[in-house]
Amino acid sequence: MQILHFLANQPPKELGSVDRIPAEGLVWVDFVREQGENWDCWAEPLLGVEIEPQHVSDSLNPQHPSFFDGTPDYDMLIFEGLGPRDDPFPLETRNVAFFLFDRVLLTVRAHDGTSIQLVRQRLLDGRVKPPGSVLKLAHLILDTMVDRFLKIREPLDKHFTALQDELLDPDSKCDDWRTLLQGRRIARKLESLSENQIEAIDTWRRGTRSDWSASEEIRIRDLREHVDRVLDHSRDLERDVESAVQLHFSSVTHKTNQIMQTLTVLSAIFFPLTLIVGIYGMNFEHMPELHWEYGYYYALGLLGVIGLSLLWFFKRRGYF
């Protein structure tokens, strides 16, 4: 458990523990999920509020998607963000549970929740202006979580562009379909994650117990727009991959058709030649051409004329 106390126009202070909520300022209490399974037993007496058991259970669920639920005493928001790595391969996620009270923000996160750690360090280093309300503090964390998604767009673009180039390269023997399927799964997961985030933010805006100021409303609207950008980008990536796959199979089909066309032309050329050879290969006793002095040369000339004529015909018609 880590506690930060915010007073107006002062840098945040770290508190080892508290027996009661300070009379002034804001308090941020951050619990690590793996170490604070009974965090509600500490928080309820201190806040004088009963936290719903289902909300406690949801906060301890590391796989819970983005979600909002409100009560008369607090807002509960679960928001799914990136894991400890900024590399999207594989795309790992970690969720954070936010409990917003009047002057207290309580968060429950995984031990490797990078976004929380980044915000906390920036506040302690003075690189970020201390927030003036619980909502602004929550927004600061949420904005950091969403911005980390925006930063992975470039490596995703490079990865998908390389896949598309390989698929569309006529000399490429692309057979690593696992990589392609992994890319599609990442795009779909990112799309589903963004949709859940948007739904949670919209539900929060409609169901919050607090009266947001105009500036706070703008901050949340801006946050939603950032999530929209991630959603649009994930959909664009998925469409690009689908288009590249379709073009790849169209190219393969075209090559197959060309091969079949060449084989068909060769078959058409050799069919009459095979017919003539087959006729003169029959074992009949009376075949006048077999006893003709120039019959052999005549047959070879006939085969050559027919073959060359058919070759010229198909060439003129553009079959090859």
pLDDT for the residue 286: 75
User: Which residues, including other chains, have CB under 8 Å from residue 273's CB and lie 6 or more apart?
Assistant: 303, 306, 307
Q: Determine the length of the chain.
A: 320
pLDDT band at residue 16 under the 50/70/90 scheme = confident
At 147-168, the pLDDT tens digits run 999 999 888 888 888 877 777 7
End-to-end CA distance of the chain: 75
pLDDT for the residue 255: 81
For 261-316, CATH gives 1.20.58.340
pLDDT for the residue 247: 75
pLDDT reading at 26 higher than 80: yes
pLDDT for the residue 238: 85
Say how far residue 117 (Cα) sits from the centre of its chain.
24
User: Which residues, including other chains, have CB under 8 Å from residue 318's CB and lie 6 or more apart?
Assistant: none
- Arch. (CATH architecture) of 2-251: 2-Layer Sandwich (3.30)
CA distance 119 to 103: 18
pLDDT reading at 201 higher than 70: yes
pLDDT band at residue 52 under the 50/70/90 scheme = very high
* Tokens 């599609």 -> residue: 184
* Tokens 């180039």 -> residue: 165
Q: Which helix (H) or strand (E) holds 157?
A: helix 153-168
Residue 68 main-chain phi, psi, to 5 deg: -130, 145
User: Which residues, including other chains, have CB under 8 Å from residue 32's CB and lie 6 or more apart?
Assistant: 1, 109, 110, 111
**Mean pLDDT, range 168-172, rounded to an integer:** 70
**Mean pLDDT, range 101-116, rounded to an integer:** 95
Higher local confidence (pLDDT), 294 or 11:
11
* Tokens 């202070």 -> residue: 13
Cα-based torsion angle of the residue sequence 53, 57, 60, 65 in order, rounded to the nearest 10 degrees: -120
What angle separates helix 134-151 from helix 153-168, to the nearest 10 degrees?
20
pLDDT for the residue 214: 93
> Counting Cβ atoms within 10 Å, is residue 89 exposed (0-12), middle (13-18) or buried (19+)?
middle
Q: Between the CA of residue 23 and those of 19, 46, 106, 123, 126, what are the distances in Å?
A: 12, 13, 17, 21, 23
pLDDT reading at 177 higher than 70: no
> Any idea where the domains of the chain sit in the sequence?
2-251, 261-316
Q: Kindly report the average pLDDT of the chain as a whole number.
A: 89
pLDDT band at residue 170 under the 50/70/90 scheme = low
User: Which residues, including other chains, have CB under 8 Å from residue 3's CB and lie 6 or more apart?
Assistant: 14, 15, 16, 17, 18, 27, 28, 29, 30
Of the candidates 148, 47, 61, 34, which has an alpha carbon nearest to the alpha carbon of residue 102? 47
Q: Which amino acid is at 131?
A: P
pLDDT reading at 220 higher than 90: yes
Token digits of residue 290: 């077999």
pLDDT reading at 112 higher than 80: yes
* Tokens 């409303």 -> residue: 217
Token digits of residue 186: 């990442």
pLDDT for the residue 251: 73
pLDDT for the residue 314: 81
Highest mean pLDDT among 55-69, 85-99, 164-178: 55-69
| Rounded percentage of the chain residues whose pLDDT exceeds 90 | 53
Higher local confidence (pLDDT), 294 or 235:
235
pLDDT band at residue 213 under the 50/70/90 scheme = very high
Higher local confidence (pLDDT), 318 or 231:
231
Q: 79 forms bridges with which residues in the sheet?
A: 96
Asked if 183 and 159 touch (Cβ cutoff 8 Å), the reply is yes
CATH topology agreement for domains 2-251 and 261-316: no
Token digits of residue 195: 């949709």
CA distance 242 to 191: 15
CA distance 299 to 277: 9
pLDDT for the residue 174: 63
pLDDT reading at 107 higher than 90: yes
pLDDT band at residue 74 under the 50/70/90 scheme = very high
At 272-310, the pLDDT tens digits run 888 888 887 877 777 777 777 788 888 888 888 988 988
Token digits of residue 225: 């727009």
CA distance 225 to 280: 82
